[in-house]
Amino acid sequence: MALQCGIVGLPNVGKSTLFNCLSNAKAQAANFPFCTIEPNVGVITVPDDRLTKLAELVKPNKVQPNTIEIVDIAGLVKGASKGEGLGNQFLGNIRATNAIIHVLRCFDDGNVIHVDGSVDPIRDREIIDTELQLKDLDTVDKRIQKVEKMAKTGGDKDAKRTYEILTVVKSHLESGKSIRTAPLAQDDFDFIEDLGLLTQKPVMYVCNVDEASVINGNKYVDLVRANVADENAEVLVISAKIESEIAELDSYEERQEFLADLGLTESGVNKLIRAAYKLLNLYTYFTAGVQEVRAWTITKGFTAPQAAGVIHTDFEKGFIRAEVIKYNDFVTLGSENACKDAGKLGVEGKTYVVEDGDIMHFRFNV
């Protein structure tokens, strides 16, 4: 599943530095606006201790973790919705992503130029939100023009409902709010899904702080948390400077020692990757055999046949049943055979909804 999170933010907030730490693909990090012009795409491994534990028990020939794609998108300025700066390119790139990681500068440093001359994460957030909202408003207005006549004069129920939803969305945008907080039911969003609205995408805010603030945050972080409280969005506190220093260390042991010296148990990058995975509404199931132990990405709510289809479409088409072992049972008992002997292997049909961490084996016939 090639799902993408786009990293966005004003120029010089640290997003390209953070992207460098996330990915083997190196985005240029420079102290001037628009150092990132083309979006850089990195395929990021999702850290998962469960996969490591399964590999220790099964001792396979190969271990394959989950991945997601992270896209570093060019910096944005006021007027982007009307094509200023790299606006059209920025908005087009973000439209292609599934979720947004919004990096906000929450540190003081006179040596790092801010595009607006001062540190103010709330202003920075509002600049980007406003541009995205204006672009969405333009998109919504155009669709309203297309469906209004059908909604008011015809007998098309879908057109009428779409028009009603678009009217609510337009009013919400005009009040300076993003669509993700609009007073709509989940089913309502299905009527406007094809519009690819930017502010409908789920968002996570990453507060880029100095080293002294990485554990407890600072005044800027407190302002951000208060400002986004109505969005029910996650706020992560990360120091891109610390993460870049960690990335320079060669061994796992060196990295752990470095983190321990700072009073940290894990890197901010690992936290961000897991949070991005959650933001995309994703689950993991596993296949475990001597040839390979592998993590598979599915959307929360997938049935067993849909999960099988992630491996190969033939698995879904010819699905017969799924043999399922719960992760905790597998780890406690130590092997698939032990789980069978203990009655911990379940046989599930087409309606089974896969749970996060399930270990699965599919029976199918093509």
* Residues tagged in the binding site annotation: 12-17
Pick out the residues of the known binding site for ATP: 12-17
How far apart (Å, rounded) are the C-alpha atoms in residues 62 and 52?
12
Q: Mark out the alpha helices in 248-301 (DSSP H runs).
A: 252-261, 268-279
- Using a 10 angstrom Cβ sphere, with 0-12 exposed, 13-18 middle and 19 or more buried, the burial of residue 193 is exposed
Which whole-number Å values give the CA distances from 108 to 31, 120, 220, in the listed order? 15, 10, 10
The answer to whether residues 292 and 61 touch, using CB atoms and an 8 Å cutoff, is yes
Non-local CB neighbours of 58 within 8 Å, separated by 6+ positions: 288, 289, 290, 293, 335
Name the DSSP class of 46: P
How many H helices and E strands in the chain? 13, 12
- 36-39: long-range contacts (C-beta < 8 A, 24 or more apart)? 36/72, 36/73, 36/74, 36/75, 37/74, 37/86, 37/89, 38/74, 39/6, 39/71, 39/72, 39/73, 39/74, 39/93
- 334-358 in b/e form (b: 16+ CB < 10 A) is eebeebeeeebbeebeeebebeebb
- The beta-strand segments (E) located in the chain are 4-8, 40-45, 63-64, 67-72, 99-105, 203-208, 234-238, 282-288, 293-299, 319-325, 345-348, 359-364
Beta-bridge partners for 204: 101, 234
